[in-house]
Amino acid sequence: MHEPERWMTESRELAREENALFGDSRERAIPYTGLTGYQGGYRDVDRKGIVLMEEHLSKLIFDSISDGVFTVDKDCIITSFNTSAEKITGFDRRETVGKYCFDVFRTEICHKHCPLKDTLVEHKPIEDIRVTIITKEGCEVPIRVTTTVLRDEDGRPVGAIEFFRDITEIELLRDRIERERSLENIICTSRQMREILNLLPDIAESECNVLVQGPSGSGKELISQAIHNLSPRKYGPYIKINCAALPAPLLESELFGYVKGAFTDAKRDKPGMFCLAKGGTLLLDEIGEMDLALQVKLLRVLNNGEFQPLGSTQTMKTDARIITSTNADLRALIKVDRFREDLFFRINVVEIEIPPLEERPEDILPLVEHFIRKIRRKNHKPIKGVSPEAYGVLRRYPFPGNVRELENALEHAFVMCHEEFIQVEHLPHHILEYRGGDNAGGREPARSEKEMIREALQRYHGNRKLTAMDLGMHRSTLWRKIKMYQLDR
């Protein structure tokens, strides 16, 4: 075949390939006049073919970007919309091109501080703005937005481009970390406490009034703090006041505030707790000690969010979330007319009952380890832990002062101990005296030793080290008794 004929044949074949690639968007069998790489050599191609090829590659790149990308003209009308943008928003590009971007994205900032509008007006890029969009299905999706101006060949602005990415998984992970951090100070392994902790996120999200009940020192304040930290109000103030620590007139002025001249020493206006806690959470600790007359005023706040500062005729509003806590039996107080029944039902939308430490002895071991680390950091003493015998004494003690008493007992032991491990003799005397009392064999002396060992093994999933510490015996002793009672089977 002569050279001209061979060139014409190759030109027709290449034209057929491009026609298949571009369809009817170009003329058929265009003669080649430019240069392009082809099978290791160079062949003539026309400029229109190069432009079409560049446009095709640009489209491939545009649709291959993992971020959502779209462009707008100077009037914020969408001119292009890539595949990732379709996946994130749920809109097909045929539904978006030619429409205003705010009709598609429907964000909370579209009509106030739209990043694209700011870019078009100021001709400056905007980076990494957090926005919530509404998808075609009506779901809210958090995204991060970056915008920049588009210019023509002469450098004149002709529109803008926006890059956005779905950060749903990132925010879910962040929420999970924040949730775990909010609960990290509540140390427990018992079923009762784990059930409470599992409910806290739902309780926090609801923003309803919560009543936290439990004996002194059981951790009511930690639970209340966790509810605030897990709630949408976590960035707002968290204010707590002890209703038993102040006389009624002073407590009223602290809660509602006062205006200048309300009483002799009122030299200036002072906002109350309900005002300061706006947008946040107010904890009313020991609510059972509140005066009956003050309970009536509190009921008004809970009913309609209104209160009056002392000496003022002006009604103020608060949207503070109310959490109350008490170690008293409010139902018993209602029967003797020391607590209003209507107020009880207002504060008791959700009730959390914290069991005493005596009813959850399996929490003693993790609490001991937690307090050992905490006190060691504060006192800088190289104490590694407690001996199995000392732990056995702690395990059998009922702790009427609950978690707070356990922490105090370990602080006492830190003062007395000059060894690596806290021994029995380092514990407070009242705990040692209880050990020698009528119930020296434990809380449930009727149970056989075999049953106690079996239950402890089940509680710690067969971990013999933890079981031995729980029972206050050496691991070799435990191993021997397991063999004797045939519990290894």
Per-residue pLDDT reduced to its tens digit, 22-74:
444 443 333 333 333 333 333 444 555 544 555 555 666 667 778 899 989 98
The DSSP bridge pattern shows strands 270-271 and 257-258 to be antiparallel
| Residue-wise burial string across 400-422, b where 16 or more C-beta atoms lie within 10 A, e elsewhere | ebbbebbbebbebbbeebeeebb
- Residue 195's pLDDT is 92
Segment (H or E) for 393: helix 388-396
Residue 345 scores a pLDDT above 90: yes
C-alpha–C-alpha distance, residues 244 and 329, integer Å: 15
Residues with Cβ within 8 Å of residue 183, at least 6 apart in sequence: 197, 200, 226
Beta strands (DSSP E) in 300-368 are 306-307, 316-317, 321-326, 350-353
Per-residue pLDDT reduced to its tens digit, 446-472:
346 677 788 888 878 888 887 877 776
Residue 379 scores a pLDDT above 90: no
Q: Report, as an integer, the average pLDDT of 124-145.
A: 87
- Residue 352's pLDDT is 95
Residue 438 scores a pLDDT above 70: no
Q: Report, as an integer, the average pLDDT of 186-193.
A: 88
- Residue 401's pLDDT is 92
Q: Shortest CA distance to 403 belongs to which of 246, 221, 182? A: 221
Which is more confident, 55 or 323? 323
User: pLDDT over 90 for what percent of the chain?
Assistant: 31
Residue 295 scores a pLDDT above 80: yes
- Residue 101's pLDDT is 85
Domains of the chain: 3-61 (no CATH), 65-166 (3.30.450.20), 188-355 (3.40.50.300), 358-484 (1.10.8.60)
Q: CB neighbours (10 Å) of residue 41?
A: 7
User: pLDDT over 70 for what percent of the chain?
Assistant: 81
- Residue 437's pLDDT is 42
Q: CB neighbours (10 Å) of residue 430?
A: 11
Angle at 352 between CA 406 and CA 326, to 5 degrees: 65
Residue 239 scores a pLDDT above 80: yes
C-alpha–C-alpha distance, residues 99 and 68, integer Å: 17
If pLDDT is split at 50, 70 and 90, which confidence band does 321 have? very high
Q: Report, as an integer, the average pLDDT of 4-24.
A: 50
Residue 119 scores a pLDDT above 80: yes
Residues with Cβ within 8 Å of residue 441, at least 6 apart in sequence: 396
- Residue 46's pLDDT is 53
- Residue 445's pLDDT is 39
- Residue 42's pLDDT is 37
With a threshold of 0.85, does the pTM exceed it?
no
CA distances from 262 to 84, 265, 272, 276, 293 (A): 64, 8, 14, 19, 19
State the residue for tokens 């732990």.
391
Residue 485 scores a pLDDT above 90: no
Residues with Cβ within 8 Å of residue 11, at least 6 apart in sequence: 29, 31, 32, 43, 44
C-alpha–C-alpha distance, residues 40 and 46, integer Å: 19
| Residue-wise burial string across 73-88, b where 16 or more C-beta atoms lie within 10 A, e elsewhere | eeebbbebbbebbbeb
Q: Shortest CA distance to 431 belongs to which of 471, 470, 468, 390? A: 390
Beta strands (DSSP E) in 316-433 are 316-317, 321-326, 350-353, 385-386, 421-422
- Residue 447's pLDDT is 47
State the residue for tokens 């609960």.
183
Which is more confident, 26 or 199? 199
> What 8-state DSSP symbol labels residue 269?
-
